[in-house]
Amino acid sequence: MAGRPPETPPDAARQALRLEYATIGSTTIEAVAAITSGIIAASVALTSFGIDSGIEFISAIVVAVRLRSLIASGEANEEKERRALKVVAVLFYVLAVYVLIDATLTLALRDHPAVSPVGMAVSSAALIIMPLLAIGKRRVARRLDAVQLPGPAVLLRADSSETALCAVLSATTLLGLGLNAGFSWWWADPVASLAVVYFAIREGREAWHGEIVCIEDD
């Protein structure tokens, strides 16, 4: 009985591309639902989560474009991959700045967010979907390393960190929304959103230097 044929670079790239397509689809829904419900409820945590989903959407598009180029040409372009990685890094920093400013203003002005059942549903769904996508991306990144494609592997690993960050933010968002809904702790919403600032700055720094340290590795 013949064994399984060895995996080729295009095979691994196609697996990564499928994960990016799944990410693009899920983050589109998350971003629209979370931002809309966040604005309606005046929730910093929920709006921040929606913006993070939008950033993850852009990150997935960037990685998907590079993977499609790799599949079409059969060769990696390290210079373009480094530039794409820096785009991901900038997106991390943009998110950190937004969350910090918005949460600080909300606490200072004592804005009370409304209860958002839609927001809680969206963040709950993301808490299930995002970790699965992040794990899948890291596994495929190892396969890309195994077939001698370190550039695309680092890029995919960077995107997996953004996906994992989205999962962290969905958890803190759900916590803040739940405390506000259950105990009227209005301050829990902006405080919960601040949890992402540390991770966003750390992952942004690592992405800029091309060495991603996944959130779960700590």
Contact between residue 156 and residue 141 where contact means Cβ atoms under 8 Å apart: yes
Q: Write the pLDDT tens digit of every residue in 90-148.
A: 888 888 888 888 788 878 877 778 888 999 999 999 999 999 999 999 999 999 888 88
Structural contact between residues 135 and 164, judged by C-beta atoms closer than 8 angstroms: no
- In the chain the domains, ranked by start, together with CATH numbers, are 9-209 (1.20.1510)
List, for residues 148-176, the tens digit of each pLDDT value: 888 788 888 888 888 888 888 888 888 88
pLDDT at position 6 is: 60
Instruction: Identify the three-state secondary structure at position 41.
Output: helix
Total residue length of the chain: 218
Q: Is this prediction's pTM over 0.95?
A: no
A 10 A CB-CB count for 145 gives 16
108: Cβ–Cβ under 8 A, 6 or more apart, which residues?
none
pLDDT at res. 3:
52
Instruction: Give the pLDDT score at 21.
Output: 95
In the structure, what pLDDT confidence band is assigned to residue 216 with cuts at 50, 70 and 90? very low
Instruction: State the DSSP H helix or E strand holding residue 217, giving kind and residue range, or none if neither.
Output: none
Contacts of 100 (CB under 8 A, 6+ apart): 194, 197
In 3D space, the residue among 139, 147, 138, 137 whose CA is nearest the CA of residue 11 turns out to be 147
Cα–Cα dist 126/122, whole Å: 6
In tens, the pLDDT along 72-98 reads 776 656 677 677 778 878 888 888 888
**pLDDT attached to residue 109:** 78
